[in-house]
Amino acid sequence: MLAPVALHGITFAYGEGELRRPVLRDVQLDVAPGEIVLLTGPSGSGKTTLLTLIGALRAMQEGSARVLGLELAGAGEGARVALRRRIGFIFQNHNLLGFLTARQNVAMALEMQGTLDEADRLARAGELLASVGLADHTEKLPAKLSGGQRQRVAVARALAADPGLVLADEPTAALDKQSGSEVVHLLRDLAKKRGAPILMVTHDPRILDIADRIVTMEDGRIVSAAA
């Protein structure tokens, strides 16, 4: 089976001319189905940049990145948008819309899929929120939820798209031990039950034990990949 994520010779720089600043250097990485890979390393080592390239949120410069079957080098915007719909993104600031309830935030992700009508989307959103332990909070606005609850809404929203891959950037940074552990175990269930791999940037030593592999970056390179 092809690796859901296969990176070869990824090199990337911000800026141009004299301001050009290399951030990734010849990165190689394969992620297997259902695998949980934690990406760690000092601040500025290029982890977030790598995640945004894999998520087709940024244009590639050099190298090859095959993500869920799409080669991103030279891919057009249409193909990149289609790929993004198949990826669950979970970022630290969770990007929930403040004027929508938890249920509506999750339903919006289903709307992008375009397969269910509104009543079904709201019902499905309720099920997803129940699956992350928020059955009693579906009608609340994000401001009325705790940080851990908001992050669980973000997880439910990422799962709504039935993603083939989850990209998470410090998903537990703002959470206490208990909430962080709950969020991470939800993600682990997803990876193991549905075979969707997870690539997670984290500095959080509390969650290292859920990883199948820990990849350490330094100065734009992968310096170690411990199983």
Ligand X SMILES: Nc1ncnc2c1ncn2[C@@H]1O[C@H](COP(=O)(O)OP(=O)(O)OP(=O)(O)O)[C@@H](O)[C@H]1O
Catalog residues that contact ligand X under the rule CB under 6 A.
14, 23, 41, 43-49
Phi, psi of 87 (to 5 degrees): -115, 135
Question: Of the two residues 47 and 121, which places its CB atom closer to ligand X in the complex?
Answer: 47
User: Which residues touch 168 (CB under 8 Å, ≥6 apart)?
Assistant: 89, 90, 91, 187, 198, 199, 200, 201, 202
| CA angle (40 as vertex; 31, 168 as ends), nearest 5 | 60
Burial of residue 108 (CB within 10 Å: 0-12, 13-18, 19+) is middle
- Least separation in angstroms between residue 206's CB and ligand X is 17
Beta carbon nearer to ligand X, 51 or 102: 51
Nearest approach in angstroms of CB 65 to ligand X is 15
Residue pair 177/205 in contact (Cβ under 8 Å)? The answer is no
**Shortest distance (Å) from residue 217 CB to ligand X:** 6
Contacting residues for 116 by C-beta, under 8 A, at least 6 apart: 110, 124
**Shortest spacing between CB 75 and ligand X, in angstroms:** 20
What ranges in the chain are assigned the alpha helix state H? 47-54, 77-84, 102-113, 118-131, 147-160, 177-194
- Residue with smaller CB distance to ligand X, 9 or 133: 9
Q: Is 87 exposed, middle or buried (0-12, 13-18, 19+ CB in 10 A)?
A: buried
Closer of 46 and 197 to ligand X (Cβ): 46
Q: Which one, 125 or 167, has the nearer CB to ligand X?
A: 167
Q: How far apart are CA 112 and CA 126, in angstroms?
A: 17
- Least CB distance from residue 100 to ligand X, whole Å? 28
Q: How far is the CB of 124 from ligand X (least distance, A)?
A: 33
CB of 159 to ligand X, least distance (A): 24
Give 46 or 180: the residue with its C-beta nearer to ligand X.
Answer: 46
Q: What is the rounded distance in angstroms from the CA atom of residue 24 to the CA atom of residue 41? A: 13
Tally Cβ neighbours within 10 Å of residue 40.
19
**CB closer to ligand X, 29 vs 129:** 29
